[in-house]
Chains A and B, each alone.
Chain A
Amino acid sequence: EVQLVESGGGLVQPGGSLRLSCEASGFAFSFYEMNWVRQAPGKGLEWVSHISSNGITTYYADSVKGRFTISRDNAKNSLYLQMNSLRDDDTAVYSCARESSAYDQGGFDRWGQGTRVTVSS
């Protein structure tokens, strides 16, 4: 069974840092491109970042560029999001999402349950 399990969320003060993790199981993680998507309380989905299967290519939303860093360790079947200089508006549930490998732009076919990040003083 495909599973994506996020961890690392919590309460952090503005300007602080957090590192989120997403542990994958049930599929060949190293072959899949991965993303982080967040959802602020009562709001819609917001894409955060993308990483290629080999970790070389990364993309970021303008709202997090220069503050967040996506990375992965294929040997550990894990995806990460290092979040620095956190702001109040970064408060959200952060989920990792797998991109379909069977089709070009085939969508995010598996999602984790998410980990909650609250930025507040």
Chain B
Amino acid sequence: SYELTQPPSVSVSPGQTASITCSGDKLGDKYVCWYQQRAGQSPVLVIFQDSKRPSGIPERFSGSNSGNTATLTISGTQAMDEADYYCQAWASTTVVFGGGTRLTVL
């Protein structure tokens, strides 16, 4: 079965840039979405089709996808961005989520 691999944790200082990776076999051939889940809340879609931002998502969130790796980049990270982030892709007739990355804003 298809798997997506994320680092368990990433730390960033306020105002700096955070990058969260998601790896999978030929992932660049698929569309990747990213979700933010703050503690105790439901997930929120922050990136779809690799790099598009839904309405209401700040411009500091961006995404890319090439080869075997997709990346979520948060520029000028704020304290409110501290959350778990999940990548997601379709693999044939199944939906696959990465294991999640906890972003800590120190």
Interface, chain A (partner B; CB < 8 A): 35, 37, 44-47, 50, 59, 61-62, 95, 97, 100, 103-109, 111-114
Report the bound CA distance from A37 to B37 in whole Å. 14
B-side contacts of A105, CB under 8 Å: 31, 33, 48-49, 90
B79-106, CB < 8 A from A: 84, 86, 88, 90, 93-100
Please, how many residues of chain B have a CB less than 8 angstroms from a CB on the other chain? 26
Instruction: Flag if A106 contacts B48 (CB, 8 Å).
Output: yes
Query: Please, which residue of chain B has its CB at the minimum distance from the CB of A112?
Result: B42
B contact patch SS: strand
Report Cα–Cα, A106/B48, bound state, in Å: 5
7 closest cross-chain pairs (CB), A and B: A107-B33, A47-B95, A107-B48, A44-B100, A111-B42, A105-B31, A45-B97
The complex places the Cα of A103 from the Cα of B43 at a distance, in Å, of 19
> Quick one: CB contact mask for B59-97 with A, threshold 8 Å, 1 for yes?
000000000000000000000000010101010011111
| Residues B97 and A109 in contact, CB atoms below 8 Å apart | no
Interchain CA distance A46-B43 in the complex, whole Å: 12
- In the assembled complex, 25 residue pairs joining A and B whose CB atoms fall closer than 8 Å, in A order, are A44-B84, A44-B99, A45-B37, A45-B88, A47-B97, A50-B93, A59-B94, A95-B42, A100-B45, A100-B48, A103-B48, A103-B49, A103-B52, A105-B31, A105-B90, A107-B35, A107-B88, A108-B35, A108-B43, A108-B88, A109-B45, A111-B43, A112-B42, A113-B42, A114-B42
